[in-house]
Amino acid sequence: MREGGDRFHVATSVSDHVVDVRAVGEIDIATVAAFRAALWAAPARPVLRLDLSGVRLLSAAGVRALVAAHLRVRARGGELVLVDPDPVVARVLRATGLHRVLPIRESARDLVTCAAA
């Protein structure tokens, strides 16, 4: 499934134990609704992997959406895992302290480890 617009799009794939969400573009006040909708539409699985390698901007609205998604996934007994954030996004995650709350996998190789956990 793919949704979004010119500045942002998100694709989702589902397997037995993992939902993969790949976001591309800018997550800001104009695009956060599509981002949040994709995260909320993800079916309950043990792991929700969010690939941020294509995200160039993560605003405060995007940070709030990540926190809300983390709480929602955790309440369903799952784990939200961030994958390969762009360096700009990684700085935002560190500045907000989210790097201490959400697991961050730095490479595609870590995806296999995450799925097996």
User: Residue 48, Cα to own-chain centre: how many angstroms?
Assistant: 8
Write down the CATH superfamily of domain 2-116.
Answer: STAS domain (3.30.750.24)
Distance CA 28, CA 20 (A): 21
At 64-104, the pLDDT tens digits run 999 999 999 999 999 999 999 999 999 999 999 999 999 99
- What is the domain partition of the chain in residue ranges? 2-116
What's the pLDDT score for residue 55?
98
